[in-house]
Structure 1
Amino acid sequence: MYVVTNRIEVPAERAAAFEERFISNMRNNLPKVQGLSRATLDKPVDPAAAYKVTMEFVAESDFIIWRDSEAFRTSHGRPGATTQEPSNPAASSPVAPAETSDPRPATGPEHHTRLETFDGTPA
């Protein structure tokens, strides 16, 4: 299993729109993703904290195929953007090993509520 976790900072005034768009993308795009067994979107209890997204793939190669796909680019584009650039340019770059990634200071526990789960079961 290959697990990818992202933290997404969203200003409080854009949280509702972000949640609606993200959940729609999960429901419409994730059933088509090869090797994806589960994905979750967790909302922070503290509005100043980041959302957490976790995706579980059968293998790293499945993640790489997803990361390099048109579906990935479409789902990561900014609403109203005129280019096909992903909203997080680092997300489309090769995954760096942990020892070379940008270290972030520990922030202590984060508390979230689960908004959506994709479990990989075909509809």
Structure 2
Amino acid sequence: MFELDMRSRKPIYEQLVDKMKELIMNEMLKPDEQVPSVRTLATELTINPNTIQKAYRELENQGFIYSVKGKGSFVNPNHKIKDLEKIKTVKQELEKLILEALFLGIPPDELIQLIQKLDGVKGGGERND
């Protein structure tokens, strides 16, 4: 399914959450599709089942999966979650790039002009200028 970086400073359960979210957002895991059981995934990745359970609990809290007692966990078909998570990720990436641009000396006015230029090319988003 995927690999985890055991040498990373990021906790294994967080890596697992990120990988599962990526699979869901990229529709590799379809809505209402059953995700691997805790035992199966723990065996496949050779990690503690408690780590998998913690990751699944976090995914459920974030609304990416839901559990059915006695049946397992499934991908949540709610598409709004996918959009909200993608928007959050894009904003975080943009923030890093903007800070880097400012650090390198690009004036804020120039960044604003670039955004306005790109907005005009794209078609204006929600505004109808």
TM-score by length of 2: 0.25
Whichever structure has more helix as a proportion of its residues is: 2
